Amino acid sequence: MSAESGRRPEVQELFERTGAGPLAGLVVADFSRVLAGPYATMMLADLGATVIKVEGPGGDDTRSWKPPVRGEDATYYLSANRNKRDVVLDFTVAEDLALAQELARRADVLVENFKPGGLEKFGLDYETVSEGNPGVVYASVTGFGGHNPQPGYDLLIQGLSGFMSLTGAADGPPFRAGVAIFDVITGLHTAIGILAALQHRKDTGEGQRVETNLLSSALSGLVNQSSGYVAAGNVPSRMGNEHPSLYPYQPMPTGEGELIIACGNDRQFAILAEAVGRPEWLSDERFAAAVPRNSHRKELEPLLLEALSHRTAQEWYALLTERGLPCAPINTVAQGVQLAEAMGLEPVAEVGSGDRVIPTVASPLRLSRTPVSYDLAPPRLGEDSELVRAWLREVPEP
C-alpha cells in the first residue's frame, strides 16, 4: 500500500531481502522496545516484511540487559531483533519527530508499546496517524489495556494473573517462570492480530487498530487453569510438577535420575503398566481409567516409584520411548538445542555477513512455498539511520 515504487537507487537497499516471504513489500514501523512488541515485529520480519526499528538516543532497554553477551551485544536484545533496519530518532527534536511522523504515514503496519496516551503529544497516536494513513494497521501493546496507564512487566503479570500461584511446590513459595513467558505470548497474539487486520485490509482497503495487553494474554495463556475458574469456579493452587487432571504426568525419580512421564490417556497408561511389569494395574478399578486414577494417585504413586526404581532414567527413557510412551529426561538449554539439532530441526539460524554474523534461534515456522528468510543481523543502534532518513526525506512519485 504505502511502500512507494520508483525509489532512488541510494535507498533501494533499505528494502532488499533475499527471500520472497508472504509479507514481502510491507513496511512495518516498529516503535516498540523490550520484548512483546519486538518479538511480534521479528515474526513479521522473518516473513519478509521490511521492519524499521525506531529507537531513541539511548536505545532499546534490552541493549543493556547484560550478561550474557556476544561481543558487546546483549543476547537478550539479539533474541528479538533480527531482520530489522534501525534508525535513531529523538522525538524532542523537531526534524526527527517530523521523520517519525512521515514513517508512520508511509507504513503498512505500526507497532508501539508506549504507555497508553504516550504518543498523543507527538502526533503518533492511532487517531492522528490513521487520518493521514487510513489503511494503516496500528498495533498497540500495553500492560493492562489502553485505558489503564500503569506499566506492565512480565514479572508483574506472572504475579497478577495468578500464574505464580500455580508455580512451585505445594508447600513452598510461588515461583516465576524462567523466561518472560507472557511477553512472548503477547507478542504472538499481536502478530496474529496484525495478520488478521492485514487480511481485512486486503479485502476492504480498511486499516484498523489492533490492541493486545499482557494481562489478557496471560489469562488466555493459562488455558485450562483460568478456564477451570471461569467455567467451574475452581481456584487452582500449586502442585509442584503434578498435573491437576492427569496422572502420571510429571517428573518421577527412578533408580538413577528423574524421568518425565506423560500419560495423556488410558492407552498410554496401559503401555506404562505393561512396561514396568505391573499389568494388574489395568484391572484395578482405581487405576485403569483416567478419572479414578487421578483421584487415587496417592495410592498409585508408591507402587509406581517402586517399579521405576529398578532401572535408571536413561534406561527407562530408551525402553518407554521404543514402546511409544511419551517421556523425557530433564535437559539443560544446551542439551535442548543439541537435541533439536540431532533431530534435524535446524534450531540455529546465522544472520548477517562479514564481521557481524550472529547465531540466532531459528523461527519455528516452516512454509513450503514462502519460507522465512534470514538476511539481517540484529542491528547496531542507528545502523541504518542514513538510509532511513534518506528515504523519508525523498518526495514519493505521484
Maximal CA-CA distance, the chain: 80
Q: Looking at this protein, which amino acid is placed at residue 285?
A: E
Average pLDDT over residues 304-318: 97
pLDDT digits (tens, 9 = 90+) for 236-271: 999 999 999 999 999 999 999 999 999 999 999 999
Distance from C-alpha of 249 to C-alpha of 75, rounded to nearest angstrom: 33
- Residue 13 has a pLDDT of 86
pLDDT at 16: 85
What the chain holds in terms of domains, given with CATH numbers, is 9-222+346-393 (3.40.50.10540), 249-331 (3.30.1540.10)
Q: Tell me the C-alpha distance between 3 and 349, whole Å.
A: 28
Task: Return all residues near 166 (Cβ < 8 A) that are at least 6 apart.
Answer: 222, 225, 236, 237, 238, 239
For the residues 316-334, what does the mean pLDDT come to?
96
Mean residue pLDDT of the chain comes to 95
Strands (DSSP E) contained in 153-207 are none
Q: Which three cell numbers stand for residue 75?
A: 543476547
CB 165 within 8 A of CB 171: no
Per-residue model confidence (pLDDT) at position 7: 56
73 is catalytic: no
Give per-residue pLDDT as tens, 168-215.
999 999 999 999 999 999 999 999 999 999 999 999 999 999 999 999
What pLDDT was estimated at residue 2? 47
* pLDDT score of 5: 47
Residue showing cell 504505502: 2
For the chain, percent of residues with pLDDT exceeding 70: 97
- Give the integer Cα–Cα distance in Å for 96 and 54: 11
* CA–CA separation, 358 and 176 (whole Å): 29
Extract the C-alpha cell encoding 199: 487480511
Residues sharing a CB contact under 8 Å with residue 351, sequence separation 6 or more, in sequence order:
82, 83, 357, 358, 360, 374, 375, 376, 377, 378
Would you say residue 1 has pLDDT above 50? no
Q: What CA–CA distances, in Å, run from 259 to 24, 252, 253, 331, 334? A: 45, 5, 6, 10, 18
Distances (CA, A) of 293 to 182, 205, 258, 334: 33, 55, 22, 36
- pLDDT computed for residue 276 by the predictor: 97
Q: What is the pLDDT of residue 368?
A: 95
Residue-wise pLDDT for 266-292, tens only, equals 999 999 999 999 999 999 999 999 999
Kindly report, residue by residue over 7-60, the tens digit of the pLDDT.
Answer: 566 678 888 888 779 999 999 999 999 999 999 999 999 999 999 999 999 999
pLDDT (tens digit per residue) in 70-80: 999 999 999 99
Judge whether residue 4 has pLDDT over 70.
Answer: no
86, 125, 183, 384: the catalytic one is 183
Residue 31's φ and ψ, nearest 5 degrees, are -100, 20
348-360 confidence digits (pLDDT tens): 999 999 989 999 9
